[in-house]
Amino acid sequence: MYSSDQLRELLSTVPAPSLVGIGDNVLDCYLHEDLAYPGGNALNVAAYSRLFFGGDAGFIGIMGDDRFADHLRGVLDEIGVDRQRARTAHGWNGMAFVALDDDGDRRFVGSNRGGVQHELRLRITEQDHDYIARFTRMHTSVYSAIDRELAGIAERGTRISYDYSDDARRDDVAASAPHVEVGFFSGGSLSEGERDDLADFALASGMGIVVITRGAQGAMAYERGRRTAVGVKPVTAVDALGAGDAFITGFLAATAAGAELDACLDIAATTGALACTLRGAFGYPVGAGEDARVQLVKRHPVGRREARSAS
């Protein structure tokens, strides 16, 4: 069983990465605690890059102008994630809602449909391109709705990573793959054959590296003609929310340092485990209250297991 200090020591030799997250940002509202934690895949990867590695990190996305968005901006400032190119729009910030089930597992039970991000789409300007060029890597997700911008970013030399979760259609994977150096997929519900088929498809479509996470079963990474696996690092978990995003961050940091595929997976397993020692994705809660609960306007028919964010 690893302690958080031991996990941080394992990460101490990894050079600080340079990464900008673009797209989704939310507050994860824990209904059973009445607390809301900063989150969202693109924002989390930027935050973990800063918190776990001390890297140069930035974030571009659309935020609301409510008190939750104010809290989110304050947290980014506190941890040192640059947000100078983030937008502010009138309305609610994105919010996801988490509850405990009878087994004690956390489940996503609903959302506010993305808040201001639902009706607006991020457009990358020339000023954004100049800003993005300051960073070696850019990370985004299937929830960020910027696929049409990927070609322009890639053409300017920035390396792109993309979290497809388990929500991306094959047509979308094929269209984005030529611009994506590392693609991440959630494959906990897939058979071994289905995972191999997905990886072969993404690689044949032009993706450089494919990583398929499997929750408590670890993860697989694929390059053309090669695949390798890693298990999870045992840790006394406080909260698994964000572990998948932390896994991505570790893999990208190791990749940027020129590590081999096996070593990239090992560092990723380390950051994934470290995230499980933190409340929420990476801490920094704010009181939720009734103004959060009234935003639960879209309910999932069956709440998704919280562990899915690590799968």
The token pair at 198 is: 């997905």
| Segment 173-179 mean pLDDT | 98
From 171, 168, 178, select the one nearest 203 (Cα to Cα).
Answer: 178
Separation between Cα atoms, residue 48 and residue 174, nearest integer Å? 28
Q: Is the pLDDT of residue 246 over 70?
A: yes
| Segment 230-252 mean pLDDT | 95
Indicate the helix (H) or strand (E) that contains 263: helix 261-275
Separation between Cα atoms, residue 265 and residue 215, nearest integer Å? 14
For residues 192 and 307, the model is more confident at 192
What's the pLDDT at 216? 87
Separation between Cα atoms, residue 210 and residue 296, nearest integer Å? 34
The answer to whether the CB of 73 falls within 8 A of the CB of 92 is no
What's the pLDDT at 304? 45
Q: Is the pLDDT of residue 306 over 90?
A: no
DSSP string, 107-129: EEEEE-TTGGGTT------HHHH
Residue 132: how many other CB atoms lie within 10 Å: 23
What's the pLDDT at 167? 85
Q: Which amino acid is at 101?
A: D
| Segment 1-5 mean pLDDT | 96
Rg (C-alpha) for the chain, rounded Å, is 18
What's the pLDDT at 301? 64
The answer to whether the CB of 253 falls within 8 A of the CB of 57 is no
Mean pLDDT for the chain overall = 93
From 276, 286, 283, 277, select the one nearest 309 (Cα to Cα).
Answer: 276
What's the pLDDT at 298? 81
What's the pLDDT at 106? 74
| Segment 189-204 mean pLDDT | 96
The token pair at 268 is: 């990723």
What's the pLDDT at 309? 35
The token pair at 270 is: 């380390």
- DSSP bridge partners of 140: 162
The residue to which tokens 């991440």 are assigned: 184
pLDDT in tens, 14-59: 999 999 999 999 999 999 999 999 999 999 999 999 999 999 999 9
pLDDT in tens, 57-101: 999 999 999 999 999 999 999 999 999 999 999 999 999 999 876
From 214, 294, 270, 286, select the one nearest 3 (Cα to Cα).
Answer: 270
Pairing of the two strands 159-165 and 182-186: parallel
Separation between Cα atoms, residue 139 and residue 150, nearest integer Å? 10
| Segment 205-218 mean pLDDT | 95
pLDDT in tens, 101-141: 665 567 889 999 999 998 899 999 999 999 999 999 999 99
The pair phi, psi for residue 300, each rounded to 5°, is -80, 135
What's the pLDDT at 307? 35
- Provide the percentage of residues in the chain whose pLDDT is more than 90: 89
